[in-house]
Amino acid sequence: ICLAVDAAGVHIGDDELPVALVRKLVGSTKIVGVSAKTVARGVEAENEGADYLGVGAIFPTTTKDSPLTSLQILSEIAAAVTIPVVAIGGIKEENIEQLMGTG
C-alpha cells in the first residue's frame, strides 16, 4: 500500500514482513518504522534498515491490545540504538513526565 499511494513511509509490526525485505521493497527514500518491545528486536531492526522504532505500549491504552513495555526496557532500547525511539501507548499529560530520562 505504501508504494501504491506513494506514502512517505511505512510502519511494521512483529507479525509483518521482515524489516530487510520491507527496506528492499520501499527503497532508501521511504521511512521505515518498526515496533520493538525488546532490545534485541530494536537492534535487529536498526541493522536491517529501520529509520525509527515505536516502543510500547508504555501505559495502558484502549486503542490497542498490547502488553505493556516497562520504562526500563524503553530506556535500554533507546540506549542500544542510534535511530530515534518513539514511546507509544497511553501517553497523557498526567504521565508524560515519567518518560523523562528514558532516551
Q: Provide the mean pLDDT of the chain.
A: 96
The pLDDT, as a whole number, for residue 8 is 98
- Residue 17 banded pLDDT, cuts 50, 70, 90: very high
Is 85's pLDDT higher than 90? yes
| 58-76: average pLDDT | 93
Of 12, 32, 86, 92, the C-alpha closest to 54 is 86
Is 63's pLDDT higher than 90? no
- Residue 34 banded pLDDT, cuts 50, 70, 90: very high
Q: Which residues of 46-78 are buried (b: 16+ CB within 10 A; e: fewer)?
A: bebbbbbbbbbbbbebeeeebeebebebbbbbb
The pLDDT, as a whole number, for residue 98 is 96
The pLDDT, as a whole number, for residue 14 is 82
Is 78's pLDDT higher than 90? yes
Are 73 and 43 contacting, i.e. CB atoms less than 8 angstroms apart? no
